[in-house]
Structure formats: C-alpha cells, structure tokens
Amino acid sequence: MNLTTSTDGNISGKVQCPGDKSISQRVLILGAFMNQDMVINGFLHGEDPLSTMNALNQIGAGIKVDEDDRVLLCKRNQSFHDSDDEINLGNSGTGLRLMLGLASGMGLKASFVGDESLSSRPMERVINPLAEMGANIVSSEGKLPISISPSTINMQYSYELPIASAQVKSCILLAGLAAGIEVEIIEPIQTRDHTERMLKNFGANIETTSLDGKNVIKLTSNNNLDAKNYTVVGDISSAAFLMVAALITNSPGLEITNVGMNPSRAGVLKVLQKMGANIEVKNQRLESGEPCADLIVKKSKLKGVELSGKIIPNIIDEIPIISVAAAFADGETIIRDAAELRVKESDRLKAVSEGFSSLGIKHKNFEDGMIIQGAPNTLILEQSLSIESNDDHRIAMSFLIAGLKCSKPITVRDCENIFTSFPNFIELISSVGYELEK
C-alpha cells in the first residue's frame, strides 16, 4: 500500500492519542503470566500487539477481545504449555524479546520466527544473558529462527547492560519472574521503565536505586502478583507525529488527549520544547501506575538544537520524526550517539538520509547520527516524488508528515507497516485536517 500526501493540510482540532504499543504488549504478557481474571482497556489493536497476543495464545493463554475492543484475560485451569508449531511474532521486536524471556524462565519448548524485517534484526543481546541464566537457546547466527529447549533457571542473576535497552532489561526481568529467581540489572542510562512500573502496580517486590550514576533494578525471588483491571495510556511516540505535524504547519492549535507522560519516554516533548515548541501540558494524572496528560500544541517557531548523550535512549524511537521537525526549523540540528537506530526495523539513519536527499534537505549522515540544515520554508519540488519506507512504520509516517511542507504531493511506498504501531493513523490524521490518498 502506497500513500500520497496532499498539499493543503491544515492541522487543528482535538484527538485522543492511541494506546501505547510497548505497554499493550507488556500488560498482555504479565497479565497472561499472572493467570487471573483481568480486563485491559485502551489496548492498541495494532499488528505488533496482536502478534504478541497470538503468540501467548499459542502457549495456552486464552486471551480474548470483546465487542468493545476490551482485552479479556480469564483464570485458566492449566499453566502454559510447549508449542509444537512455530510461534510467529511478525514484525514485533518487543514481543519477540519479551516472549523469549518468559518462555526461557518457564522452561518451555518453543521455536520463534518472524517476518523478513524481524528476521534480519540481531538478537544476541537477549540470547546471551538468557544463556548465562541457564536457558538452552539455539539461533541462526544470533537471528531468527530461534529455538528454546526445556531448561531450569534456578540461580540468582546479575547483569550489566552493555548498551541501554529497555527490551533487554524487560526480557531478563520476565525470565527471572517466571523462574522465581532474584535478578539484578544495571543499566548505564535510564531507559523506559514500563515493565518496572507494571510489576510494581501488580505487587511485585522490585526497586530501582542509583549507584555511580547508573540505575540498579532489583527483583526479588518472592513475588505474589495480584491482577487488577488495567488501562493503557496513550503512546507519546504516536503523539509525536501529530505534534510535529502541527508545529511545522504553524497550526492554530491541536489538542491531544490521554498522552503517556512516563519520564523515561517523554524526552520527545522536552526536545520539541527545547526547539521552541509551545506545548501546554494539562490535566496531569496517573493511570494504572503510568503518568499521562493532555497536550495542547500552539503556534511556534522552531530552532535547531544539539542532541546527544543521556537523552538519546529516551527519544530513540522518535528521532526520525524529530529529524523532520529539525528539517523545518531555523538553523542546524546535530544528533549524536544514536547508532542504535541502525539496527531497528530498518537502518533508520540511512532511511532518513535517503528521504532527505530525495527532498533536497541539506544534511550529513554519519555512523551515530546526522547534521541537519534546517529551513522553515516550504520545500519547492519540481515534480511529485516517491520515497521508500524501507518497510519501517516510523520512516513511513515521518515522511508522510514531511509531505505537509512540500509544494507537490509525495508518495511514500509500502506503508502497510504503519498498522504495526498506529492502526488508525490515516483516519486520525484526516480528522485533524490532513488527507492521505491510498
């Protein structure tokens, strides 16, 4: 599916932020593990969370969805079981890494596969610590397909992350929880802490402390979790596309409600405000242990910034759309320490660079980031252009937003991937004044 932009977008109005993909997948896994009656509201019915749901059902979770799109988990008579059939996680890197932790901790027999994109992504960063914990794992040179044989993890485990990664951290926590052992994880930089918050929300004995500038997360071996109904807050990564759309078009005002404001995820808001964005935060509250708020994006003038160091893990998913904001800001933006982007759904630094080259946006791409020469003016194109999504949802949506500042329509190719994380993107962006043509 290709999508073509329009040149008369007028962003304004009020929309509700779609549910958070990361939280939706985590609460599915923890909810199924607890094996108690539970209702999940606000769940993101995107392809990635649904792949995780199907994977859990394949090992006996019995998760259902009612007519109101609520997710229902019911107490079942049997525990999880081995799977003789391959478990396909589609494009979901989060689902795969977390399921590997759960299955290893429970000593299950299972084989995991995924689509072409997921199959190309390196998985040693979870395979290695799981193997150290005692799991029997066989992979294809650190990539899919990956098979787990029954094994027992029964010793406490401490691991210092060589690279800050919330998925690796969560994988180890789930393995320790499922195995009933004590785990300690040391992370060099704060990463998103949805798993820790969720575990604490359900009564786990988990604490985070600071030592020599690093985070130390400890999960004890004795955890009696108590399930309760859960509401998924909105995904600030999705809200970022809407915020940038409003900012680069000088929108008279856009309100986005129910946006997750977890401090380990809200870096994109801080970055946009640093760039000069006038964004009001109101109605701040807690929902199932996660902070959220409503955001009002007001007319603003953006300027270039320098981004590196500790902020990068906090904004790693949003860097493509931040790059689009930088392209239409006044002055130079420098992004460093973002080499992690090269092993996402695509090499996102390369994909952004290729798209910018097609549009004539001045920039320089290097190993861990890029320099972007911003200009707030509309891009004058001699003809309509085609840009590759690289089968990456964040690249696809970023360049569709960039189309708002182009004098002629641009076509972004192969946009089916958008449905992995933002299934109602086309309808929602249309509701605030920007039509996309299939």
Residue-by-residue DSSP string for 86-151: -EE-TT-HHHHHHHHHHHHHHT--EEEE--HHHHTS--HHHHHHHHHHT-EEEEETTEEEEEEE--
pLDDT tens readout for residues 140-180: 999 999 999 999 998 899 999 998 899 999 999 999 999 99
State the CB neighbour count (10 A cutoff) for residue 194: 24
User: By C-alpha distance, which of 358, 389, 400 is closest to 245?
Assistant: 400
Q: Are 362 and 373 in contact (CB under 8 A)?
A: yes
Quick one: 222 and 249 in the same domain?
no
Is residue 194 situated within a structural domain?
A: yes
Quick one: 244 and 219 in the same domain?
no
Quick one: 250 and 292 in the same domain?
yes
State the CB neighbour count (10 A cutoff) for residue 46: 26
**By residue range, what is the domain housing residue 204?**
21-231
Helix (H) / strand (E) element for 381: namely none
Rounded Cα distance, 75 and 79, in Å = 10
Quick one: 280 and 348 in the same domain?
yes
Quick one: 163 and 287 in the same domain?
no
Q: pLDDT means per 10 residues in the chain (438 residues)? A: 91 96 97 97 96 98 96 95 96 96 97 95 96 96 97 92 94 97 95 96 97 95 94 98 96 96 95 98 97 97 96 93 98 96 90 96 95 95 94 96 96 94 95 94
Report residue 213 as tokens. Answer: 């500038």
Quick one: 353 and 248 in the same domain?
yes
226 is catalytic: no
Is residue 137 situated within a structural domain?
A: yes
The total number of residues shown for the chain amounts to: 438
Is residue 140 situated within a structural domain?
A: yes
pLDDT score recorded for residue 343? 82
Q: Could you check whether the bond before residue 145 is cis, i.e. omega within 30 degrees of 0? A: yes
Rounded Cα distance, 371 and 389, in Å = 21
Quick one: 193 and 269 in the same domain?
no
Q: Are 283 and 315 in contact (CB under 8 A)?
A: no
Tell me the torsion sign for CA atoms 47, 50, 200, 66. Answer: positive
Whole-model pTM above 0.75?
A: yes
- Report the number of distinct structural domains present in the chain: 2
Among 317, 330, 391, 392, the one annotated catalytic: 317
Phi, psi of 280 (to 5 degrees): -90, 135
Q: How many CA within 13 A on the CB side of residue 144?
A: 23
438 DSSP assignment: -
pLDDT score recorded for residue 317? 92
**Beta bridge partner(s), residue 257:** 16
Q: Are 293 and 281 in contact (CB under 8 A)?
A: yes
Q: Residue 152: CB partners within 8 Å, gap ≥ 6? A: 107, 134, 179
Q: Are 363 and 388 in contact (CB under 8 A)?
A: no
pLDDT score recorded for residue 10? 87
